[in-house]
Chain A
């Protein structure tokens, strides 16, 4: 089969001239070359990594007002996703954010993750995620991922309240 063939050396000196016997071996080098070429091609083009996915279940739209449940202010944590990868956050509801009011944080490990972990002692905590107009999609995914990492299971993606916008404006004016 495929083996390096040396052109027949040695012999042939003197003696009778014999009809050359055709070798039964075929030179398979080109075929093997092609084989390896294909191998390289398929190795390089195969995509093993299937994309990951995050499953999201949004709440079913309530038909009536009564079906909606009230959220206690002590159990609420509001995260407002702002521009330039900033998070504005406060505890409580937008009517009366509990002290110290709106604060800013980042998506770094000691930013939002710490805040979420600090509040894990409250099993009824509901995190309200409010992506604002200027936020990026990456911010939303990052935050959902933080929820996954910190195992905070109660969260909702909510529309931004006009009161929230005011709070953020205020926080910006204060230079946060």
Chain B
């Protein structure tokens, strides 16, 4: 006589809710994430207890790295487009349409305007190898001041933030602040990392 096998239920598990949740999260993260633009220079900012967040848009970032090189970046493609037109007129350097388009997609750069073409014509991988000496901000040749001034003409709402490396030297920072003050910018932001506020 054959044995009577007990009817075993299949070990099946309904995973529908889990998968639903997973896809919900995927959608959420896809919509919320904004890819950080590739930085030409890595900066380790000092920390502070300040809890003011940087505004979302219209930010002009002046980056100072630990070797005292000054980099310039501004948000907004339209602003950058207008800016390059104004700067090319001011410095009498003609940029082609392609170069202008590339400029409006460039996050930040750190070369004198005379060498800007070289950076704009380089491919993505080549840009990293170009030695960017920083934007001149001396009193004799203050291109940084012109960039700031023309940006403010292109987009009056722009807010200025200085992103300095912990080891950046004070004379360079002072030079930047002095340039800002010369252009009548007396309010600006210093970008820092977060730090817990100590009790006093």
Contacts and interface: CB of A to CB of B under 8 A. Distances in A.
Interface stretch (A15-23, A49-57, A87-95, A161-169): A49-57
Nearest to B5: A10
Contact of B200 (A6, A50, A60, A117): A117
Main DSSP-derived SS at the A contact region: mixed
Interface stretch (A32-40, A70-78, A98-106): A32-40
Given A53-B189, A54-B189, A148-B50, A140 B12 contact: no
Given A53-B54, A141-B190, A149-B198, A43 B168 contact: no
A115 interface: no
Contacts, number: 165
A45 interface: yes
Interface stretch (B85-93, B113-121, B135-143, B180-188): B180-188
A6 B9 CA distance: 11
Nearest to A117: B200
Main DSSP-derived SS at the B contact region: mixed
Interface residues of B, number: 58
Contacts of A28: 19
B64 interface: yes
Interface stretch (B76-84, B101-109, B158-166): B158-166
Interface of A: 1-6, 9, 28, 32, 35-36, 38-39, 42-43, 45-47, 49-61, 81, 109, 113, 117, 131-142, 144-145, 148-150, 157, 159
